Amino acid sequence: MGDELEFIAFDIECSINVNDHCEICLFGYVRTDCDLNEIDHGEFYVNAKKPYGRLKQLLKNVDFEKVRTAPDYREQYQKIMDILNTENAILVAHSADSDLRFLYLQNERFGMENFSGHVFDTLSMAIKHSPELNNHSVIELCKTWGIEHTIEHEALSDAYSCIDFIRHISDADGITPLEVFDRYKEGSYIDSEDVYRQIIERRNREKLRKLAVKEKNPNKTCFCFDEPFETENVERTEELARMIIDSGCVISFRPIISDFFIADEGSMSKRHQYAVQTDMKIITPDEVEYYIMFNRKDIKITFK
């Protein structure tokens, strides 16, 4: 890699991003020297599930045939870490805290050692540089600053855009690219440990909230309805809710405090994905009565 200082812009795309579960499907990077001349670039596809809902639309430009046939994260992990741990490199990403969060969750899931370091956030830099703009997303900055953005929500293309953002700010301010990082360091120099700490603190708050609810009904179990089911089957939802309440139970619409999740087969809602990833017991509407009968002492349902 050499001893000269260089810049590395990177971007991560996830096909699944629900609560504390994400699946990285693509990592892209661009390496340049201090004058923003390209040294090299690359992208690593990672085997992951297909996206659904809003992510499916956002990632329409990602080649999911390549994702399907790509090595799994364990095989791509070292390549990604080698890029991020390049000596004498300044790392850059847009919404860097999101990319660091993706890395933490993915590494945690696969039992891999986490990345530790700092990343400059071009989102924060852009907000500080051009506070008058209403939108500082990659695509909107490219439009406003006249930067060619070839493929929306595609890791390599977004990494190139980060380099172009540094170039734009450098030219606009009449300073060198290296001086850009010094001038905009405050508020944009993201420490990975701070991001990881925030994830752990949020989890602890969720655990405390769940414990607080459970302490009120320590021997009861919580049921939660899937959102599509409750909105599309109002009468059936009401019927089941009354059955549960009449059993001396309570209903929650917060999966975080629930033990049983009521959903039709084939649902792909956010609530359902959360239930799957947190190992909640998922039951169909027709199974509710069975679980009331055989778990009567455990049941709790609260309206929240």
CATH number (domain holding residue 154): 3.30.420.10
| pLDDT tens by residue, 165-208 | 999 999 999 999 999 999 999 999 999 999 999 998 888 777 66
End-of-domain residue from the set 174, 201, 228: 201
Residue 151 domain flag = yes
How far apart CA 192 and CA 119 sit, in angstroms, is 8
**Which residue is associated with the tokens 């899937």?**
226
Pair 25, 169 in one domain: yes
End-of-domain residue from the set 137, 172, 201: 201
How far apart CA 96 and CA 130 sit, in angstroms, is 18
End-of-domain residue from the set 170, 201, 232: 201
How many domains are contained in the chain?
2
How far apart CA 206 and CA 96 sit, in angstroms, is 24
Pair 264, 150 in one domain: no
Residue 170 domain flag = yes
| pLDDT tens by residue, 148-168 | 877 888 999 999 999 999 999
Instruction: Report CA-CA distances (Å) from 53 to 16, 42, 89, 160, 275.
Output: 10, 28, 37, 27, 16
Residue 211 domain flag = no
Q: Which helix (H) or strand (E) holds 76?
A: helix 73-84
How far apart CA 279 and CA 290 sit, in angstroms, is 20
Pair 53, 188 in one domain: yes
Q: Give backbone dihedrals phi and psi of 282, rounded to 5 degrees, phi first.
A: -100, 125
DSSP letter (8 states) at residue 295: S
Pair 192, 221 in one domain: no
Pair 47, 108 in one domain: yes
User: Which pair of tokens denotes residue 252?
Assistant: 């929650």
Select the more confidently predicted residue: 225 or 108: 108
Pair 139, 249 in one domain: no
Instruction: Report CA-CA distances (Å) from 243 to 53, 232, 238.
Output: 32, 19, 9
Containing structural domain, residue 53: 6-201
Residue 175 domain flag = yes
Residue 117 domain flag = yes
Q: Is the pLDDT of residue 49 over 60?
A: yes
Pair 172, 87 in one domain: yes
CATH number (domain holding residue 268): 3.40.50.10190
| pLDDT tens by residue, 201-231 | 888 777 666 655 555 555 567 788 888 887 7
